[in-house]
Chain A
Amino acid sequence: MAKWAMVIDLERCTGCNSCAIACKYENSVPIGMFWRRLVSFTTGEYPNIRHEVIPRPCMMCENAPCARVCPTGATYYAGDGTVQMNYDKCIGCKYCMIACPYGARQYNFKKQEEKPYHNPDVLGREKGVVEKCTFCYHRIAKGEYKEKGHRMTACAQICPAGTTVFGDLDDPKSLVSRLIRDRRAVQIRADLGTKPRVYYLK
């Protein structure tokens, strides 16, 4: 079984938002929500100001706080290194959103509007359930959408700068495995003990 992981090289990221849009299109994410979002900050004091952008998908933690606190077991470990949602079991208590340190989880406050295109591979979500990034589970499970022989999430496929790399941690020769051995590799809030599977090169 594979262990899927993602590496995001912040030195390459231009902040073009195409991954966020590709994700929305691929997963039919409604207005006002992002499964993969670009968190942006302005840091520093004038005149030494920097504008920073950090793409934030679901971190697919090995020790996920959301799966720990979900009262119904709607959030579960899928076994391939991802954390997935069972929309039929979710009661909408939002405890997982409170537990997630990354804000990766999105709640359907409203009924999702009809979209001109809905990806038939992706499950629809009702009002009152929580949803989040699935690491494009439908694409990966099918094994289609390969680029250079590798399975790809929508965000990794669209990225024009090659910022986002998706791959298998169990394969020591994969690009992801090589990149996380880079000393620039960090995990966000690793101090919380979540063991995220999304690595950033800073």
Chain B
Amino acid sequence: MMDIFKYNLNDFMPLWDIRVAIDQFLGALGAGAFLAAIYVSHYHKRESKIGAFIAPVAAALGLLLVMTELGKPFRAIYAVLGNPTSILNWGTWIQGIFIPVAFLYAITITVGGKERLAKTLGIVGAFVAVLVASYHGLLMSVIPARPIWNSAHIPPLSLIYALTTGIAAYLILLSIVEKRDPDAEDTKKSLTHIWIWLLFAQLVMGVAFMLNSYWAGSDVLRQFKIVVGSPIFWVGVVILGMILPILILLSKKPVSLILTASLVLIGGLAFRYVLLDAGFASIVYNISVDFFP
């Protein structure tokens, strides 16, 4: 066993705190809600407006939150025309396109009339929404210094969490805003059908990621142990975020949809936080491993 004297401030501060986890959560939620809104717009135009409005608001909130996390937020414009090999640079472009497009789309379908414009914006927005949803995972998966992040599982996991949390937020808003509308019931029903399968896919992909991390070698295993040792993981991600919602949806008991969707949202945020936090314990190990393997 290795004991470490902790005397460097920077090595033991969380470099990215919970604000980044919330940004990833909100950005992905917005992208997922946008994709769900595009799906709903084929059947019920009126109900799709709600989802279309979640997207830019959530993504912009997340972006604002992450700006407060920057050391020099007023210089953030440098990141747009900076270094093209950086995923963060791509992210500024992707999100910079997604937020206005989603906002314009929401405005267009609310005002009505311009069908062709709405359709074009919808296609562009859906394309960028997939990129936004995967980007937060890609940002982490290209870092070899943080072994548990450096996995091809992370971008698809990020995408599937975007879809489930996006639909969850959509369902909550639908239940609150459109109470009396018969179309809302229909929308909720069809969204819930997809949602169950997405939650299943999320469970399968999550288990695949955990198994992969467990067998991926000693340096990943060290960070994997941090994940499975954390109560947030077991309570937030596994029980509240995955098992309970799936059980509730399968049992078809009259449990409120708002509660189920809130559980999924909690699970989504907990997943981002646990994964982010697990990456921050590799530096001393990295330095020592060549000398004391």
Contacts and interface: CB of A to CB of B under 8 A. Distances in A.
B167 to A, nearest CB: 30
Interface in B44-77: 69-73, 75-76
A95 B88 contact: yes
A128 B146 CA distance: 23
A71 B3 contact: no
Given A73-B82, A73-B83, A192-B144, A40 B291 contact: no
A198 to B, nearest CB: 11
A2 B272 CA distance: 45
Contacts of B92: 71
Interface in A91-107: 91-95, 97-103, 105-107
A16 to B, nearest CB: 15
A147 B89 CA distance: 43
Interface string B204-220: 00000000000000000
Nearest to B289: A189
Contacts of A52: 288, 291-292
For chain B, what secondary structure do more than half of its interface residues adopt (helix, strand, loop), or is it mixed?
A: loop
A11 B43 CA distance: 73
Given A95-B86, A100-B145, A37 B15 contact: no
A93 to B, nearest CB: 6
B146 A98 contact: yes
Contact of B71 (A37, A107, A200): A107
B250 interface: no
Interface residues of A, number: 56
B8 A101 contact: no
Given A97-B15, A103-B11, A39 B288 contact: yes
A104 B291 CA distance: 18
A103 B291 CA distance: 17
Interface stretch (B120-128, B178-186, B277-285): B277-285
B256 interface: no
Given A68-B86, A69-B86, A72-B83, A128 B283 contact: no
A178 interface: no
B15 A189 contact: no
Nearest to B74: A91
A73 B127 CA distance: 28
B143 A93 contact: no
A129 to B, nearest CB: 6
A127 B85 contact: no
B251 interface: no
Contacts of A127: 71
Interface of A: 10, 32-34, 37, 39-43, 45, 52, 54, 56, 65, 67-74, 89-95, 97-103, 105-109, 126-130, 186-190, 192-193, 200, 202
Interface of B: 1-5, 8-11, 13, 15-16, 69-73, 75-76, 78-79, 82-83, 85-89, 92, 139, 142-146, 279, 282-284, 286-292
